[in-house]
Amino acid sequence: MSEELKGKRVAILVAKGFEQVELTEPKRALEAAGAETAIVSPEEGRVRGWDMTDWGRSIRVDVPLDQADASDFDALMLPGGVMNPDHLRRNEKAVKFVKQFFDEGKPVGAICHAPWTLIEAEVVEGRTMTSYPSVKTDLKNAGANWVDKEVVVNDGLVTSRSPKDLAAFCPALVDEIRQVAHVH
């Protein structure tokens, strides 16, 4: 295990229907780099993932969204899936939680459809980002510069398109958190 993120806490915000691999792979990479991760969710007890074409496993919620405060974390990771960000963007507490990371200048990773929640938090204007192709128009309409790349890093925000980009997304997210940790 690496020590480059030792002492760093990363919130992973999810609702029912998160894309399972988009949670498990970044979580594994963050923990391998020494970070502590915490599943934050509006769901109580456990939250169920989506595994490509059908329901996946349920995972334990570490911190209920009602008790979560971005000040307790060094970074935020947002898995995609279609249902997950759609639930989160309609949850006022989730949107405020996400916005707080941007207000505090903390790194955020968002993959696939997760930028829907970022749009709702009004934090994408002027940023260069990528996402699942069907989110492209939503991002452009919100003022983002959308590009078709496997990973884009823009001022603390790391975005990728889909599970096929996880090999690029995970190390970019770890690196961004590491760089910010050295700045502060």
CATH (domain of 114): 3.40.50.880
Is 182 known to be catalytic? no
69 within some domain: yes
163 within some domain: yes
1 within some domain: no
Indicate the number of domains in the chain.
1
Encode the chain (184 residues) as per-residue pLDDT tens digits.
678 999 999 999 999 999 999 999 999 999 999 999 999 999 999 999 999 999 999 999 999 999 999 999 999 999 999 999 999 999 999 999 999 999 999 999 999 999 999 999 999 999 999 999 999 999 999 999 999 999 999 999 999 999 999 999 999 999 999 997 545 4
Q: Read off the amino acid at residue 155.
A: D
Q: Which residue is catalytic, options 112, 170, 182, 184?
A: 112
Q: What is the DSSP string of 136-180?
A: HHHHHHTT-EE---SEEEETTEEEESSGGGHHHHHHHHHHHHHHH
Q: Which of 170, 176, 71 is nearest to 111 (CA)?
A: 170
Q: Which of 174, 142, 146 is nearest to 161 (CA)?
A: 146
160 within some domain: yes
Residue 5 CB neighbour total at 10 angstroms = 24
Is 113 known to be catalytic? yes
State pTM to two decimals.
Answer: 0.96
Contact 10, 76 (CB under 8 A): yes
**Where in the sequence is the domain holding 139, given as residue range(s)?**
9-183
3 within some domain: no
